[in-house]
Chains A and B, each alone.
Chain A
């Protein structure tokens, strides 16, 4: 009851903040349900497809809502995203990303899978267990939040 009264006061005094808190709460509940569903699911099942789709959709909506807004890096001058990044930095990380993509795509389009393992097939001993899937879902949700915020 007290919670409802507090919510009503918050809605009356700070409607935008209330709406933001409500949206975050609903999102957290939806993602928690999707995470639990995903933890008990197995790869290639409709529950795994549905929970992954919910996670992707939620983060896509958050990114969509932020597009066009001016990005303000948190933490001042030293924050990621502030100032210019040197060309050796781009060269190093782009080369490593390209190398990883090349190995992964080469394995993806080769067969048999046992001889040419992709990252997901190497992770499959973990991604077929409930704790492994729960950890993977949580880490990927955190990464998605980082992309969106």
Chain B
């Protein structure tokens, strides 16, 4: 297994875990709420909104410009 395969496997593992967490949230198990609710709560406070803006801006620059 090459270093490239390991890196891609790590991305896929995070994706699968996120999907599992969202599924658990939708079935109302383990007291976890969905990503939309967590991000919505984060957005409702000024510091959280600024943090989301910074992450979003980095994503735009990283994916579109670089």
Give residues in A with beta carbon < 8 Å to B: 38, 43-44, 48-49, 51-53, 55-56, 59-60, 63, 66-68, 71, 73, 79-82, 84-86, 88-90, 92-93, 96, 99-100, 103, 107, 114-120, 122-123, 127, 133, 136-137, 140, 143-144, 147-148
CA distance A106 to B39 in the complex (A): 25
Q: What chain A residues lie within 8 Å of B60 (beta carbons)?
A: 52, 55-56, 140, 144
B51 to chain A, nearest CB (A): 10
CA distance A93 to B30 in the complex (A): 14
Give residues in B with beta carbon < 8 Å to A: 2-4, 7-8, 10-11, 14, 17-18, 21, 25, 30-33, 35-41, 43-46, 49-50, 52-53, 56-57, 59-66
Q: What chain A residues lie within 8 Å of B50 (beta carbons)?
A: 63, 67
A52 to chain B, nearest CB (A): 4
Q: B30 to A107, Cβ gap below 8 A?
A: no
CA distance A117 to B6 in the complex (A): 10
A60-B57, A114-B4 are known contacts. Are A80 and B40 too (CB-CB below 8 A)? yes
Q: What chain B residues lie within 8 Å of A114 (beta carbons)?
A: 4
Q: What chain B residues lie within 8 Å of A116 (beta carbons)?
A: 3-4, 7
A81-B40, A96-B18, A115-B2 are known contacts. Are A120 and B53 too (CB-CB below 8 A)? no
B65 to chain A, nearest CB (A): 4
CA distance A128 to B37 in the complex (A): 34
Q: B56 to A103, Cβ gap below 8 A?
A: no
Q: What chain B residues lie within 8 Å of A63 (beta carbons)?
A: 49-50, 53
Q: A89 to B37, Cβ gap below 8 A?
A: yes
